Structure 1
Amino acid sequence: MRRTAVLGSAGTLLAGTLIAGAMAAPAATADPGQTKQANQGSNSLSHGGSSEAYGVKVAADRAARHGIDWKDCPADWGLEKPIKCGYVTVPLDYRKPYGKQIQIAVDKIGNTGSKKDRQGSLVYNPGGPGGSGLKFPRRVVTKSKIWAGAAKAYDLVGFDPRGVGKSTPISCVDPQEYVKAPKADPVPDSEADKRAQRKLAAEYAAGCKERSGWMLPHMTTPNTARDLDVVRAALGDKKLNYLGVSYGTYLGAVYGTLFPSHVRRMVLDSVVNPSTKKIWYEVNLDQDIAFEGRWKDWMKWVAENDATYHIGNTVEKVQQQWEKLRATAKKNPVGGVVGPQELVIFFQSAPYYDSAWANVAATWSKYLKGDPAPLVDKAGPHPEDTAGNIASENSNAVYTAVECADAKWPTSWKKWDRDNTRLHEKYPFLTWSNAWMNLPCATWGAPQQHATEVKTNKGLPPVLIAQSTRDAATPYAGAVELHKRFKGSRLITERDAGSHGITNLENPCLNGKVEAYLLSGKLDSRDVTCAPHATPKP
């Protein structure tokens, strides 16, 4: 789901730094034999009932034969030994499996147990769309207690989805232009403000087409799911073990729909609502409502810890301070670079993750005490960070490309204006900022598909779903909807909690059930509700 400017756990999902290194991704290529075979089978219905299914079979068979040429990761990837890195080649267009190819970057760390303990690979997607999964194997390097049990049985495998980072990447604007600040206040004061934002959104869509138009029609979740099946084959696994968080749950849901008999174990954490009525326009509107609720939860915590932060001892006072900060930054951007939009991007990490609560509150507190430097550093741009800026721009480009391509979007500005004006009245924290981020989809210059109907198809084993009740980025109703659609699934609910991406948080009730499922396939006979994980301390 929607990313913030803060590099965090499963849900922010900024791509890793992009520095050309010894293992720079090969350019997109034509497959050998392309001239003879480019069209053979591209319209065949003899393998799996569709041209894409035939293309997946061709690519997966090829990947299984070739495997992955694992090497030490380039030093500038930030992936230390014994993590290994490599590439998997996939078709740009699965209807033309012998046509143009693109690269998918993958990495792994071997299971920590014996050969007898090993159950294959556990493949991870952290969300986005646009997030890099390459940091996943580092959970072994950093000795994560939560994942120690699973790591004994599984190779932990991460990958950059098509368009992302170390894979064949896309871009929509010059990265240095993308990070310039301050940007316009997302909350419009006039029709002129709205016209200006509409112009920026249309220009962004045009930039995507100009810079990456050759990939845009193929930047869909179903294609990424097909890539995932080719990666599975390249790893030598007959069936997929998968952990998906945030947008990764939607990727997993689509994979489970397209390749039900290829699933072995699947954990889906913090769930995107997969209803075709929700993907993606309505999903983002629902997000605005949920963010306001979790924003209030955080402000309540700040008020309860006023002895530490001195921001306000009631929710109302904290909200007043927020509005004052916003107004001040609009008139005179903090440090010349932090305006209202930069504030929203930084502060929204608190509704996203409990782990950000203390950091955001402390940064705000220092500002109120007369020290704006931490706020400028954390919320402002870093023009000298070329690699980080490329990663940030790429991540946003993939987010936009996938959501715009996955489903039909409203093209009527009247509808966008009406819906977001209505929501802003009650849920002002994120509504307009979210609207402008997604508005390029209204003028998207590439085909938009019909959303995939997620459902249980023959062969799908029981899936484990995990969700907190007050999640802002992926509201709880999404988990309930997927639970209904995937028959035999089990839902673990973390009540009275709202952090996004809960399988990487310490909660013995949840952690134990996830581990038991991954190691033995064991599920409770019914859905389970867990008490919340510990509330952050100031």
Structure 2
Amino acid sequence: MRAAVLHGTAGSLLLTGLVAAPAGGAPAWPGPVRSAETRGTAVAAERAAAAGVRFGKCPRAEHLPSNVRCGTVTVPLDYALPDGKRIRLTVSRVRATGKDPHDAKRAVPRQGALVYNPGGPGASGMYFPLIGFLPEWKRIGAAYDLVGYAPRGVGRSAPLSCRDPAHPPKPLLQSPTAPSASYKKARIAEAKAYARGCARRSGSALRHYTSLNNARDLDVLRAALGERKLTFMGASYGTYFGALYATLFPTHVRRMVFDSAVNPDPEKVWYENNLDQSAAFELRWADFRAWMARYDKVYGLGRTAEEVRRSYEKARARLASSPAGGTVGPAQLQGAFLQAGYYDDYWPQRALALSAYLKGDPKPLIQVAGPHPEAAAEQENGSAVYTAVECNDAPWPTDWRVWDRDNTRLARIAPFETWDNVWMNLPCAYWQAPRQRPLDVRTLPGELPPTLILAAERDAATPHEGAEELQRRLWGSVLVTENGAGTHGIAGGPNKCVNGYLDAYLLEGGLPERNAACAPHREPVPPASARTARRRA
């Protein structure tokens, strides 16, 4: 449940957001000056403060229990024109319980609203308030209203799509790690068609789906909730526009948690960040293979990481010639194992599915990797928002030869994710909307209250170097690292040390005097049923 509530569907830089800066120096962005967008944000926030949020029963479409309440917040489509077209963002909330989870007689003072974003771009935070029912979150849920929302473009918040979600394309079963020239040509054509579809279906509105506007929306949401200052936690991509918020509105910040931070360096946003991510996933894939090798007596996939790799490649080859159930080919296999690169609690299930498939039982693999037609519309919406935000945010190489050169080199040492990452982001090479220049994330001493950055040392989706870079740019921030671990998103997870720092900061405003480290959480172990079945075999 935790992974589903806190994080979006695993994908590429989730980052699942994106690069080049102007020649000769810093990005040509004016910074947090009194621009038309800044004035428009102030106008929209003033209106939102007066209107508030009318929370009531959640629409059936949200699939939320009755104790979660829902509402909407109105924001300008274009902040330079606050009196122009407006869109509505959906919001969810569970009020602070006010009760100490360890002492029912002790009242806990309310500290305001804690607003959360799970990343993406393209992920919804509407389910976040449910996190308060988990033991690790009850102390925070006692002091804070837990507030989630769907960013612009996501879910029912002025939703985007780049092709008809009612008629999704036939899933590609192949996913070659060394694609041929003809395969590349086909994927280029697909990327061009997707970029055209985004432009055709959204028109002139498409350009306004950006990280900067996500940051501005966050300030309007703050005002609508009646909060003078914002308490916010963002994960993955949510750390990026959270950092933009800190740069644009430092005096509006109360507390901010950046969980699994994106590298905000304008030179990295977004093309270079994706290259770094592909390289990091190769290391995490090696971690997973080593884990499977340690449990060879359970899974029978090999006693070394290299033997496990050969078992995986054997499955890929078999699926390429005969997809499991007609629906699971190498692409679906790779997608399922990519998710295991994000969250190690997926490891036992994925290893069991691979083991069973190689022994003649494809059902577990079909279960974890097979398509889910009922989720096609949601997946297309997430893909469209991801693509729009990343492509709008920054310049991308527009010459295929640059992509081909860089990723061919990278794939020689990091074949696991490299080419799939390319195909996901390639529409940005052919984007038809205007591009922005990334804002130079940076705060001066005393400008921003102290903030907390959390990162796992071996996180593949947002490599640890990004957290280090963010700390250098946000004066007064403190970095807490979970050493030797690689789960993407560590707040409120199984590591009590990490959670201790999170609680101390959100509940008391306390931070360590300098960067801190936690020992890794315990890696998963195969379930007893798998161990027993192996012994009986």
Q: Is the 8 A contact 2:10 2:342 kept in 1?
A: no
C-alpha distance in 2 between matches for 1:411 and 1:280:
13
Amino acid at match of 1:79: L
Of 108, 121, 129, the residue aligned with 1:137 is 129
C-alpha distance in 1 between matches for 2:361 and 2:164:
32
Aligned residues with identical type, % of pairs: 51
Of 238, 257, 262, the residue aligned with 2:228 is 238
C-alpha distance in 2 between matches for 1:463 and 1:501:
17
Of 391, 398, 407, the residue aligned with 1:404 is 391
**Deviations, residues 389-408 of structure 1 (Å, cap 9, x unaligned):** 11111011111111100000
Alignment match, 1:126 = 118
* Residues 251-260 or 211-220, more deviating: 211-220
Match of 2:278, SS?
helix
Deviation at 1:215, TM superposition (A): 2.6
Alignment match, 1:499 = 487
Amino acid at match of 2:168: Y
Amino acid at match of 2:66: K
Alignment match, 2:402 = 415
CA change 1:313–1:116 in 2 (3 A) is closer
1:163 correspondence with 2:158: no
Alignment match, 1:336 = 326
Alignment match, 2:14 = none
Deviation at 1:78, TM superposition (A): 2.0
Amino acid at match of 1:295: W
Alignment match, 2:497 = 509
Of 51, 67, 81, the residue aligned with 1:66 is 51
Alignment match, 1:524 = 512
Amino acid at match of 1:464: L
Deviation at 1:323, TM superposition (A): 1.0
Amino acid at match of 1:395: G
Alignment match, 2:424 = 437
1:323 correspondence with 2:308: no
Q: Is the 8 A contact 1:267 1:465 kept in 2?
A: yes
* Residues 482-491 or 207-216, more deviating: 207-216
Q: Is the 8 A contact 1:270 1:502 kept in 2?
A: yes
Deviation at 1:489, TM superposition (A): 0.4
CA change 1:340–1:316 in 2 (3 A) is same
Structure 1: which 5+ residue stretches go unaligned?
1-5, 16-44
Q: Is the 8 A contact 2:5 2:125 kept in 1?
A: no
Alignment match, 1:105 = 90
**Deviations, residues 23-50 of structure 1 (Å, cap 9, x unaligned):** xxxxxxxxxxxxxxxxxxxxxx9x9611
C-alpha distance in 1 between matches for 2:138 and 2:255:
17
C-alpha distance in 1 between matches for 2:4 and 2:301:
25
**Deviations, residues 127-182 of structure 1 (Å, cap 9, x unaligned):** 00101001110012xx2111111111100000000000121100011225436323
Q: Is the 8 A contact 1:186 1:436 kept in 2?
A: no
C-alpha distance in 1 between matches for 2:279 and 2:7:
18
Deviation at 1:185, TM superposition (A): 2.5
Q: Is the 8 A contact 1:182 1:337 kept in 2?
A: no
C-alpha distance in 1 between matches for 2:419 and 2:212:
29
1:533 correspondence with 2:518: no
Give the CA RMSD over aligned residues: 1.8
* Residues 333-342 or 343-352, more deviating: 333-342
Alignment match, 2:464 = 476
Match of 1:293, SS?
helix
Amino acid at match of 2:425: N
Deviation at 1:437, TM superposition (A): 0.6
Deviation at 1:332, TM superposition (A): 1.9
State the TM-score, normalized to the length of structure 2.
Answer: 0.90
Alignment match, 1:453 = 440
Match of 2:454, SS?
strand
Q: What is the correspondence of 1:209-224 to structure 2 with a 5 Å cutoff?
A: 209-224=199-214
Deviation at 1:325, TM superposition (A): 1.2
Alignment match, 2:40 = 55
C-alpha distance in 2 between matches for 1:237 and 1:94:
21
Deviation at 1:74, TM superposition (A): 2.3
C-alpha distance in 2 between matches for 1:524 and 1:178:
50
C-alpha distance in 1 between matches for 2:488 and 2:419:
21
C-alpha distance in 2 between matches for 1:168 and 1:259:
25
Deviation at 1:183, TM superposition (A): 3.9
Alignment match, 2:27 = none
CA change 1:298–1:116 in 2 (3 A) is closer
Q: Is the 8 A contact 2:6 2:128 kept in 1?
A: no
C-alpha distance in 1 between matches for 2:503 and 2:3:
26
Deviation at 1:340, TM superposition (A): 1.7
Q: Is the 8 A contact 1:260 1:459 kept in 2?
A: yes
Alignment match, 1:172 = 162
C-alpha distance in 1 between matches for 2:464 and 2:10:
23
Deviation at 1:374, TM superposition (A): 2.3
CA change 1:7–1:178 in 2 (3 A) is farther
Q: Is the 8 A contact 2:312 2:354 kept in 1?
A: no
C-alpha distance in 2 between matches for 1:274 and 1:122:
23
Deviation at 1:505, TM superposition (A): 1.1
Deviation at 1:413, TM superposition (A): 0.9
C-alpha distance in 2 between matches for 1:437 and 1:182:
13
Aligned length: 498
**Deviations, residues 292-313 of structure 1 (Å, cap 9, x unaligned):** 0000000100110112212222
C-alpha distance in 2 between matches for 1:76 and 1:169:
14
Deviation at 1:189, TM superposition (A): 3.7
Alignment match, 1:362 = 352
Q: Is the 8 A contact 1:179 1:389 kept in 2?
A: no
C-alpha distance in 1 between matches for 2:173 and 2:435:
29
Amino acid at match of 1:493: T
**Deviations, residues 82-112 of structure 1 (Å, cap 9, x unaligned):** 2100100000000000000011110000001
Deviation at 1:190, TM superposition (A): 2.0
CA change 1:9–1:360 in 2 (3 A) is farther
C-alpha distance in 1 between matches for 2:436 and 2:34:
19
Q: Is the 8 A contact 1:14 1:131 kept in 2?
A: no
Amino acid at match of 1:126: P
Structure 2: which 5+ residue stretches go unaligned?
12-29, 100-106, 527-537
C-alpha distance in 1 between matches for 2:139 and 2:400:
51
CA change 1:110–1:179 in 2 (3 A) is farther
Alignment match, 2:337 = 347
1:193 correspondence with 2:183: yes
1:308 correspondence with 2:306: no
Alignment match, 2:62 = 77
Q: Is the 8 A contact 1:13 1:127 kept in 2?
A: no
Of 250, 254, 271, the residue aligned with 2:261 is 271
C-alpha distance in 2 between matches for 1:361 and 1:231:
42
CA change 1:401–1:263 in 2 (3 A) is same
Deviation at 1:184, TM superposition (A): 4.0
**Deviations, residues 489-520 of structure 1 (Å, cap 9, x unaligned):** 00001100000000131211110111010011
1:375 correspondence with 2:365: yes
Q: Is the 8 A contact 2:177 2:416 kept in 1?
A: no
* Residues 490-499 or 208-217, more deviating: 208-217
Q: Is the 8 A contact 1:181 1:338 kept in 2?
A: no
1:94 correspondence with 2:79: yes
C-alpha distance in 2 between matches for 1:365 and 1:327:
15
State the TM-score, normalized to the length of structure 1.
Answer: 0.90
Deviation at 1:7, TM superposition (A): 7.1
C-alpha distance in 2 between matches for 1:66 and 1:10:
29
Q: Is the 8 A contact 2:160 2:202 kept in 1?
A: yes
